[in-house]
Structure 1
């Protein structure tokens, strides 16, 4: 009973996703090109936002690591220029947190905040 209330002292194994750091504008052209043959996912995250932190933690728990897609992580506070260019290049309005699914050079799905974890990625990858 106490383990259920207070948790066990055993450390929980942390799930690690195959993140690719998105930290340059030049990478966006490569992402666009690679999207012709493999879905590209961009997770835009604000490291100062509690909601963003909660959503990314849930995303990590729910993400199927075997998904056939490249998964990019964009720290939009550190790389504001890359975040802005992402919006221009893929014609999406900036939100945070935000997940973009890119196939054949266009965004085929996007979600922000809690809707990120409601997005059925299996439809796109």
Structure 2
């Protein structure tokens, strides 16, 4: 399936993984987990983003890097990166370091596949995951 990571000047360039909000997904093993909407008004924020970007954020997955602390953040050369997601291309066709699938129907098939299998527990945590992605 066709996918990319990073904004146009940095797409799929491993040398740019320390560029905050623009560089591609840093190398490593990532757990595919449920994306949280977050906060007291997270649902409202998601609703506005959905209308603006023409994407249903509730279908996205979060990607948590196995860097010793399983959460939404990692550090690359001292630069804090995070909020990595697995999602389809939206109206703007950009990625801020997520894995962005270029075809909605391919993303839908991948999502269905992941959800059709039992989750597993990330070792040392209570978090459940659907699978892993190894970025090289």
Normalising by structure 2, report the TM-score.
Answer: 0.26
Which one has a bigger Cα radius of gyration? 1
**Greater share of helix:** 1
If each structure's strand is expressed as a fraction of its own residues, which one has the higher value? 2
